[in-house]
Structure 1
Amino acid sequence: MIDARELDLSSSKRFGEIPSEFSRLINLEDLRLQNNFLTGRLPDGLWELKKLRSINVSNNELSGKIPKEIYRASSSLEELWLSNNKFTGELPYQLFMLENLTHLNISDNEIEGYLSESVSDLVSLEYLNLWNNNISGFIPRELGELKNLEFLSLSGNQLKGPIPKELGNASSLISIGLFENELTGSIPKEITTLSNLKYLGLFDNKLEGMCQNLS
């Protein structure tokens, strides 16, 4: 088993913590543990796996903070799926050191604090979902530097202030969800004229103007 490249234990009614022994699977590229009843924290040893490309632990009962040690997987990790758990605390700056990351989903957790301007360091990012957390502060204009970003959801948080016009520089965007926040000001024309945009969800904010949704 030590030579396994893929381990799929999804939807297998598993309880307890993620075994620390997984860190011995030195050739592991894809770890799927979603749709179980796993508890506890993410083991630090996971980030020592130099070939780990994708990890999915969505739809469990995992808790604690997202570990700072995550940066150790920066050379290989492309997909990180942590949605629908009980993760708390702020997004560690080490998370933004994952320069090869294409998919990041931490939706439906209890994350708080700000979304750092360092998000622009995730230069390969195509999918960013932080829906339904407790993230506050402003939407960083640096999101506009993510030229590969297609899907963005920051809905269901406590974000305030204006929608940055620089978001219109993310020319690959297909879907933008910013609804159920505390955003104010007008809707930048730079966003509504994005050529690839299919969905724009802005309802339940304090925005001015008529364009609340585009779909």
Structure 2
Amino acid sequence: MKPPPSSPLLFSLLLFLFFTAVSSAATKVLPPAPSPTTSPTPVTPSAAPPSKAAPLDPKQVRALQSLNLPSRNPCSLNQCDSAKPFSHLLSLRFSNCSDDVSMSSTALKSLSTLQNLSFYNCPVAPVHFPTELSLSLHSFSCIHSLRRLTGVFLSRFVNLTDLTVTNVPVNASGLYVILGNMKKLKSVTISNASLTGSIPKHFHLNLTHVDVSGNQLKGRIPTSITLLDSLESLNLSSNGFNGEIPSEFGDLISLKNVSLASNSLSGSIPESMTAIPGLVHVDLSSNQLNGTIPRFFADMKSLRYLNLQNNEFHGVLPFNASFLKRLTVFKVGGNSNLCYNHTVLSSKLKLGVAPCDKHGLPMSPPPAKDDSSANSESDSSDYDDSDDDSSQKEHHHGPNKVVLGVAIGLSSIVFLIVFLVLLSKWCG
């Protein structure tokens, strides 16, 4: 019988096998190579140096200085034209103004080349705009600024295409005083402005956006508004409008977003609304609308937001679960005589209305209009039929790759040692 291998030789062999196993384990835990679908970082060639812009008109530089606005390199902060020998400001934005800003008529007259003028959070005292500036403006925004405005002041901007006034009191007897001569206007927002009066009986037909929410406007919604076949967004919410929704409402064929919420509208939802193919957002909540809820909403393929809560609708809810799943927001709570077919919709859906009995009447009293439970649902949806599988999957992580690799390496070493010990005994 052969003698067992010498101890130094066995130790060297074990040491060699140890480093081989560790090297193999380390190789297995190397990070994966980048996916072949990952686009390499593009190498952007160095752009040619821009041509040197002409300096700003000295009169406008002095005007900016008097208004405590940055006057050094102003065209890097605001849009300028390319006139020679001096450029001129086309856009100017006042934002978060300090108390030392005072509007000088002389300074504003020097800025009569402006086409876009914006005030954000600048509650400074208003000032008379020179005629040249009023006529040159295409866009005027005033948000929580200038403390107060008048309809006559705004009406002088006759060349505007975009007018935005928000959270600023406007003293005007109706919208027509402001908008009557703005024949180029496409977008108008006058919201939370304590505006009184009614909606004009005549509109300029190129309007695409109308938002007069949060005011004190009253009266009926005139049929003139249904002539705006380019209108894409209409927000008349939180006013005092009454009467019925015009039966010609379906003539607004370009409409995508409409909110008539929080008014005193009555009657039924007009059938003509079916003719508006691209409606995405419909909010008719908190009115006195009655009748049954039309089934045609389920045929609107683009619809994602439907809020009909806090009205006087009755009858059976005409929707199935697949339609509700397609919506991001669906609210019908606060309609005491409305119910749902429990054979079509699950009782797990938080609809805010009761199931129907065999006569199509609510089986039990639904939550009252002012019941906090009807309004305690998530803002994103009035129903919740999801499970927790996705969240559990998000928190599940596999074993760490490094730990796994080291474990494999150590297991290999132990196996080799045991194998060599057994081999030495067998050979001995």
Q: Could you say which residue in structure 2 is the equivalent of 1:68?
A: 176
* 158-167 vs 59-68, which moves further: 59-68
Deviations 1:84-135 (A, max 9, x none): 11001111213xx221111111000000000011111112111100110000
Aligned-residue offset at 1:158: 0.1
331, 348, 352: which one pairs with 1:213?
A: 331
Aligned-residue offset at 1:67: 4.2
What TM-score, normalized by structure 2, do the two folds share? 0.46
Establish whether residue 49 from structure 1 lines up as the match of residue 137 from structure 2: no
Establish whether residue 90 from structure 1 lines up as the match of residue 198 from structure 2: yes
The AA in structure 2 aligned to 1:213 is K
Identity of aligned residues (%): 26
**Contact kept in structure 1, 2:123 and 2:146, CA below 8 Å:** yes
How many residue pairs were aligned?
Answer: 210
The AA in structure 1 aligned to 2:113 is D
**Contact kept in structure 1, 2:176 and 2:199, CA below 8 Å:** no
**Contact kept in structure 2, 1:3 and 1:26, CA below 8 Å:** no
Deviations 1:27-71 (A, max 9, x none): 211101112253242226635523x11011111122332342423
**Contact kept in structure 1, 2:117 and 2:141, CA below 8 Å:** yes
287, 306, 323: which one pairs with 1:200?
A: 306
The AA in structure 1 aligned to 2:249 is L
Structure 1 residues 150 and 47 mapped into 2: Cα distance closer, same or farther (>3 Å)? farther
**Contact kept in structure 1, 2:152 and 2:172, CA below 8 Å:** no
Establish whether residue 12 from structure 1 lines up as the match of residue 130 from structure 2: no
Deviations 1:145-167 (A, max 9, x none): 11111110000000001011111
Helix, strand or coil at the partner of 1:33: strand
Q: Could you say which residue in structure 2 is the equivalent of 1:100?
A: 206
Establish whether residue 128 from structure 1 lines up as the match of residue 234 from structure 2: yes
The AA in structure 2 aligned to 1:12 is C
269, 275, 278: which one pairs with 1:169?
A: 275
Higher fraction of helix: 2
The AA in structure 1 aligned to 2:121 is S
Distance (whole Å) between structure 2 residues aligned to residue 128 and residue 23 of structure 1? 32
Aligned-residue offset at 1:171: 1.0
Higher fraction of strand: 1
Structure 1 residues 130 and 22 mapped into 2: Cα distance closer, same or farther (>3 Å)? farther
The AA in structure 2 aligned to 1:49 is V
What TM-score, normalized by structure 1, do the two folds share? 0.89
Higher alpha-carbon Rg: 2
* 171-180 vs 138-147, which moves further: 138-147
Runs of 4+ in 1 over 4 A off after TM superposition: none
* Higher RCO, 1 vs 2 (CA within 8 Å, ≥6 residues apart): 1
Distance (whole Å) between structure 1 residues aligned to residue 290 and residue 241 of structure 2? 16
